[in-house]
Structure 1
Amino acid sequence: MGDFADTRVSLAGQGTLVGVALTAGSTACIAGVAGLQITVRIVAGLTVTVGSPLLILRKGSTYWAIATFGAAPAVPPSPPLPSDTPPSSGDPAPAPKPVTTTGTLTCPPIATSTWRDGHWRTDIGSSTSADTYQGRYSGSGFGRMSGFAFYGSKPRSIAGATVTKATVKLRRLTSGDFGKRSPTLRLVSQSTRPGGFPTLNESTTGPALGVRGQVSPSEATFQLPTAWGQAMVDGTRGGLAISISSDDPYIRLAGRGSWSAAWTLTLYWRRSS
């Protein structure tokens, strides 16, 4: 390769030049400048590799590579625009919080009946809407009575829910003495009226009630044990009763035929999902 003197194009008068090394070297190399190839000497301490951009200075007829320089710095990318999605921490997303639903279920009885002397009484009205009696009237030749209310399948319509409160509406009617008396409430297995005597289970003392029109109060919305309401929802129990193992106190509570709200069961519940 000839030097600049061998070329037909003059670079004289162009001052400091910029070229690209076509060969590597530590004392001299071939460089491309303005479309020409020239021999360039390399100043001491400078190492040139192929492709290095060179700063070239002419002195007389000799060209000197006096420095190399890097390519223009890359422009850093613009930061991403903010988004609505938070950056991932690498941890799994927490489980969603459970949603709690609450409600109230009102359950009128499907039947109110009184049992005496081995059968359901029909002399006091319909055997499915009769008043409910407890005990035996003083001096009566008939047997002891027990009154019942059955709730069918409605309590089980909220199966799986947790009962937080359960109440029942009771009204005392004329029969026996007028003083305040408390019935003994029982939880019954059956949800519909059986042919025979129902199965009695848990018991609790009901509200002290006077006779309607004579001694107040004669009616009450009585709070039952919460477990009783839960048993109704779970289907292990299906009805309520007033029943004692003795004759007193003799009490008559309204059935469906005497009072539309009689024995209405209300269940307060919650459910998490």
Structure 2
Amino acid sequence: MKNQKLFSLALAGALSISLLAGCGSPGGGVSPSPSPTPLPTESVNPSENPTVTTMPIPTPSESAAPEVTPLPPANPDEGVTVSPEPADPSQPPQATEVIRPEAPSQQPAESPKPSETPAPSDTPAPEASAVQSVWNQVSGLERPELMDIDSALLSDLYGIDSADVVEFIGKMPMITANVTEFVIIQAAPGKADTVKAACESRLETLKGGGQYPANQVLVDNYKLIVNGDYVLFCIDEHADTMAEAFNSYTK
């Protein structure tokens, strides 16, 4: 590098001397300017130039496709869900089948068949017994509140054995202030007199009970009627009506 610099300085000095010599030439004319001498070109030693390494640019075909790592499934038991492939845009779209609900049937509704009237039964309905018929006729009459006389009370109050009775209906007051009491009895065959005697004994008990005057009137107007095996003993303000109903069903 020093040699090249010295050579450049010498060349510049020589050029300056030539210019001075031209200015002092005789004739006073202006001497033509010498054509400029080209400056020496500084040569560069290839050995001193830095080495430049050119990297090959990969072409798109040479670049490796990035490796895609699939994501693990959210639930290990479910496996990987594969998304459906997108439709091919080059293929024409397929028509979607539309399912329409069936129209209601236009057939006229069948008219209901008339219900068949059952044929009347040849077996007549059982008729109520005489005891029940008498009670049905007088049960709607106005009376104080009464209670039923069952087989136990019939035995305790009247001394009548249940074996001597086929059917009976009896009522008595729920409170001692009232005296209304009656029995409608179908006695067993041959037991009507026994039942009648038991009713007479009960009457004597009620008479000796020191009844209120109004109740005493009812006791004095009692009814004791025997029609065959049927016996009616009645202490009631409707005693006459009960006697008529009893006779109409038992005679």
- Normalised to the residue count of structure 1, the TM-score between the two structures is 0.18
- Normalised to the residue count of structure 2, the TM-score between the two structures is 0.19
Where is the strand percentage greater, Structure 1 or Structure 2? 1
Instruction: Give the structure with higher Rg (CA).
Output: 2
Query: Which structure is higher in RCO with an 8 Å CA cutoff and minimum separation 6?
Result: 1
